[in-house]
Amino acid sequence: MQYRCPKCQSAKLLPVTQPGQTTARPVVPKSLVFLIPAILILLLLVSISIAMWAFGNGAGETLQLATIVMFFACVIAGFLFYRDLPDFKLSMQAFMQSQKRWKCRDCNHEWES
């Protein structure tokens, strides 16, 4: 099993799905689905707050409240994801092992493991 391209050693691999073959997809935990947008929204709110402070007026109360709420949402989602992590790792490993054909995103080399 190789997680690197045998040609250029790149780690940017794409699984190639063969027609007619149902490969086991890794089970993405719901907490991760929630965590990623939550972090993105938090980053957006924080950068808006910083921009508003930089321009003198300070962040509005609604914005501050939203930022705090999103921060706690991120903490909760992060904690849930931390609990899901062992299962997620196992399902990722099972997926990597069941996947036979790979394609390299750097040099387009295809191979079977």
Task: Report the interface residues with Zn ion, using CB under 5 A.
Answer: 5, 7-8, 10, 104, 106-107, 109
Whole-number minimum distance, CB 23 to Zn ion, in Å? 21
* Bridge partner residues of 14 (DSSP): 103
Measure the CA–CA gap between 90 and 74, rounded to whole angstroms.
24
Beta carbon nearer to Zn ion, 8 or 94: 8
Beta carbon nearer to Zn ion, 91 or 103: 103
Whole-number minimum distance, CB 19 to Zn ion, in Å? 23
Whole-number minimum distance, CB 79 to Zn ion, in Å? 37
Beta carbon nearer to Zn ion, 49 or 103: 103
Per-residue DSSP letters for 45-106? HHHHHHHHHHTTS---HHHHHHHHHHHHHHHHHHHHHHHHHHHHHHHHHHHHHH--EEEETT
